Amino acid sequence: MVQKVPRLLLMAVVLGIFAPLAIAQTVTLSAQTSAAPAQAATTPQTGAPATITLADALQRARKNSPQFNAAVTELKVAHEDRVQARAALLPWVSFNSQYLYTQGNGTPSSRFIANNGVHEYIAEGNAHQVLFAGGQHLAEYHRAGALEALARAKSEIASRGLVVTVTQTYYGLVVAERKYANAQASAAEAQRFLTVSQQLERGGEVAHSDVIKAEIQFQQQQQTLQEAQLAMSKARLDLAVLLFPNFNQDFTVVDDLRLPEPLPTFDEVQALGSRNNQDLRAAAAALRAANADVTIARAGYFPTIALDYWYGIDANAFARYGFTTFTGPNGELLRERVPNLGYSASATLQLPIWNWGATRSKVHQASFKRQQARLELSFAQRELLASLRNFYNEAETARGAMERLGRVAELAADSLRLTNLRYGAGEATVLEVVDAQNTLTTARNAFDDGQARYRMAIANLQTLTGSF
């Protein structure tokens, strides 16, 4: 027992020197997280790296994601299609101005009977209204509304998918930074243990094999540290591509994994899914559009009635009044002023008679698409129920695993501390110390992965339910 006293003292001294380093790393990481709002507030003035939260990352990604903005563009285009379809239901007014010059034949008339004279001026407005077209225009308006709803659902799907992508990439960087910090702590612990073993070897208290094992552990931890740094750099690049149009890497992210989102009950999740699921809305909108396509195709069987009204000038002189020449009772030529302004109206009835089965073929096409849309809606309903249960089970499992992995990390840290004390007292072998070090590193990394897994499970669940 007398020989073990210096060994214990040496271990106590070394632990007193190196233990505050690991504690300082943890405190520094917490301080960075808590100081994030203040740093973000002073960034524009100081030129410091931008501090980005998950909400900031989502906002930036929405501006720079080509896939998300393509879906938004499709929604805008669909809205304009609906505006145009609505305009087709209403009367429209146009103005036509035209000058016709025709070769004469020596009389006031022209050589072509289609024209009214050598000079003909047309300047008139036209009001046009389709009174009946077999419900085609109304069905087109309904179809445009359904397609707009479909585009809106797809844009929301794209938005929720972007949330999943950004969440995965954002917390991928957070976890990579944590693993790098864990690798730094493990490398420091390996360096400390190597120093202790070398000092104990010089005192004749341990064999040289302990020093060799400690140096092997140190070299392995250095390699792990380098790999963790590479993974952190890659994760930063992946996130920078999503967030910045100019590929900026000068930013920091806020680590909020320690504040997990609550998980509602399955009944609440199911109710949200039935109300807010965009895949279901998209399938329902596609079915409404398919029904409208059938109505549009069947409109080809019905007659079309249109009404036109014209008002303006269609005369041989571009003037409000013109002159007409006629022969008087005594054979003399007389001129009389007549008004050129006038109106006319026409009603058109068009009856479909025969088109070689083209209308029937269009009805069949639309019916086939409607049948497929019904099938897809039914499948979307079944898939929603299965996906809700699957994603909810994943979230529950991830939450339970996160809590257990946190407890394991705490136990692994305490185990390493006790193993170091036992080694200093000569009651533990170098293999036990190395195993405790590796166990702690693995437990910390697994806990970080578990927290990220829970956040990803929540994000996947919210693709079906929306935010909760």
In this structure, the number of other CB atoms found within 10 A of the CB of residue 462 comes to 21
Instruction: Parse the chain into domains and list their residue ranges.
Output: 4-64+144-301+361-465
Distance separating alpha carbons of residues 76 and 61, to the nearest angstrom? 19
The tokens for 93 are 């007014």
pLDDT band at 18 (very low <50, low <70, confident <90, very high): very low
pLDDT (average), residues 14-20:
42
DSSP classification of residue 213: H
Distance separating alpha carbons of residues 203 and 179, to the nearest angstrom? 36
What's the confidence (pLDDT) of residue 35? 34
What's the confidence (pLDDT) of residue 109? 66
Number of H helices, E strands in the chain: 10, 8
Of 219, 183, 246, the closest CA to residue 445 belongs to 183
What's the confidence (pLDDT) of residue 161? 95
The tokens for 360 are 């029937």
Q: Render 19-78 in DSSP notation, one character per residue.
A: HHHHHHHHHHHHHHHHTHHHHHHHHHHH-PPEEE-HHHHHHHHHHH-HHHHHHHHHHHHH
pLDDT band at 110 (very low <50, low <70, confident <90, very high): low
Provide the whole-model pTM: 0.78
Cα radius of gyration rounded to whole Å, the chain: 40
Q: Render 326-345 in DSSP notation, one character per residue.
A: EE-TTS-EEEEEEE-EEEEE
H helix intervals, 343-429: 358-424
What's the confidence (pLDDT) of residue 27? 31
CA distances, 292 to each of 105, 135, 149, 357 (Å): 56, 10, 14, 20
Report the percent of the chain where pLDDT is more than 70.
Answer: 88
Which of 3-17, 89-103, 272-286, 293-307 is predicted least confidently?
3-17
Q: Note the pLDDT tens digit of each residue in 188-205.
A: 999 999 999 999 888 888
- The answer to whether residues 273 and 384 touch, using CB atoms and an 8 Å cutoff, is yes
- CA dihedral (291, 293, 296, 297) positive or negative: negative
Write down the mean pLDDT value for the chain.
86
Q: Note the pLDDT tens digit of each residue in 71-84.
A: 999 999 999 999 99
What's the confidence (pLDDT) of residue 111? 60
CA distances, 80 to each of 92, 144, 278, 287 (Å): 17, 9, 21, 21
Is residue 26 scored above 60 in pLDDT? no
Is residue 277 scored above 50 in pLDDT? yes
Which of 10-24, 168-182, 375-389 is predicted least confidently?
10-24
- The answer to whether residues 263 and 394 touch, using CB atoms and an 8 Å cutoff, is no
Which of 24-33, 207-216, 230-239, 372-381 is predicted least confidently?
24-33
Angle at 463 between CA 460 and CA 465, to 5 degrees: 115
Strands (E) located in 135-179: none
Which tops the pLDDT comparison, 34 or 332?
332
Is residue 296 scored above 50 in pLDDT? yes
pLDDT band at 220 (very low <50, low <70, confident <90, very high): very high
Report the percent of the chain where pLDDT is more than 90.
Answer: 69
The tokens for 223 are 């390699």
Which of 23-32, 51-60, 292-301, 386-395 is predicted least confidently?
23-32
What's the confidence (pLDDT) of residue 322? 80
- The answer to whether residues 297 and 363 touch, using CB atoms and an 8 Å cutoff, is yes
At the fourth CATH level, the homologous superfamily of domain 4-64+144-301+361-465 is Outer membrane efflux proteins (OEP) (1.20.1600.10)
Of 360, 331, 171, the closest CA to residue 260 belongs to 171
Q: Note the pLDDT tens digit of each residue in 81-99.
A: 999 999 999 999 999 998 8
Is residue 332 scored above 90 in pLDDT? no
What's the confidence (pLDDT) of residue 36? 38
